[in-house]
Amino acid sequence: MVPEMSEASRSRMLDVARAAVVRAAQVTRAVQHDLDRVKVVTKDDRSPVTVADYAAQAVVAHWLQQELGPVRLVGEEHAAALRTDDHAALRRLVVEAVAPVWPEVDEAALLDAIDLGTQDPDAAGFWTLDPVDGTKGFLRGGQYAVSLAWVVDGAVELGALACPNLDPDPAHDLTTPGRGLLAVAARGEGARQAELRADAELAPLAPPGPSSDTIRTCESVEAGHSDHGANAKILEAAGLVAAPVRLDSQAKYLVVARGQADAYLRLPSTKGYVEKIWDHAAGALVATEAGRVVSDFSGRALDFGHGRRLEENRGILAAHPEHHARLLAAIRKLGFG
């Protein structure tokens, strides 16, 4: 049995998580605004997201350790390649990217911080991080997220989600970069949101109720990431007319949580693909605590207690309870569950 954490400890950990993703987002924003220079230095069109991934993971790991002491972090990145002589230029760029929020950083400290994320999950509690969720969105100047969550005994207890290109105004066009949005959640305590600034005041995330039979659905931009054809069949079987909202990353969970879209469906297009925990942990908690229902295509809750992947789940469905029930019934009818 995992011992319960005090309310004060939970609050403190959530404050630290919020500060960590805000700092990381400051770094990723700067890299995204400087894509061309990074590409020239490294002669690699994908290197900007690599710089941002490494830098954001280092910033979050360093901040967690500084504020909370020794931590268990399950991250997406490791520094093995970055330590080699072949990647000296890339390593210098990462240090340069991190320096504004971690002035005393040097290469050794940077590499060690990144490698804090190579630890294994533990039922007693661990952090999981996606430093740049939505690689293609990041590279095209679109939506992406920095996602950090605290997981205990297979359930997400705390989540902090920074979406640097979402806007606090729900009427803002999702295809146009906004001012940045932060959402945080604690299990059983609701979700809150604020503009993506360290000093912004958090407000309860209270989305509107369901719309009519014409709904807005979130999908991945790339058809290769999710089966758009399956989604269309599900919506038709549910008797729902959909206007797709296509964007990258866990920003989709936040868009559904805020009522800017009514549902998020994700059925991987690659047979045998298993979702990674850091791709869903924080976003799923934010949506759940905002009153949405999040499950797999069988109606089961997402289970984060099986290592680095959601081994017991297939498909993702996040929606208002009314729409979730209709969509899940359609999924079962079509045999996708």
Which residues are identified as catalytic?
A: 53, 135
* Beta-ladder partners of 151: 126, 156
Q: Which residues of 286-297 are buried (b: 16+ CB within 10 A; e: fewer)?
A: bbbbbbbbbbbb
* CA distance linking residue 322 with residue 304, whole number of Å: 25
Taking Cα atoms as reference points, which of 98, 161, 112, 114 lies closest to residue 288?
161
One-character DSSP codes across 299-323: SPPP---STTB-TT--SEEEE-HHH
Taking Cα atoms as reference points, which of 187, 137, 170 lies closest to residue 287?
187
Give the CA dihedral 131, 135, 137, 142, nearest 10 degrees. Answer: 40
Where do the H-state alpha helices sit in the chain? Answer: 7-32, 35-42, 47-68, 88-98, 107-115, 135-139, 228-237, 251-258, 281-289, 321-334
Taking Cα atoms as reference points, which of 141, 176, 192 lies closest to residue 17?
192
**CB of 268 closer than 8 Å to CB of 216:** no
* CA distance linking residue 249 with residue 151, whole number of Å: 20
- State the amino acid at position 96 in one-letter form: E
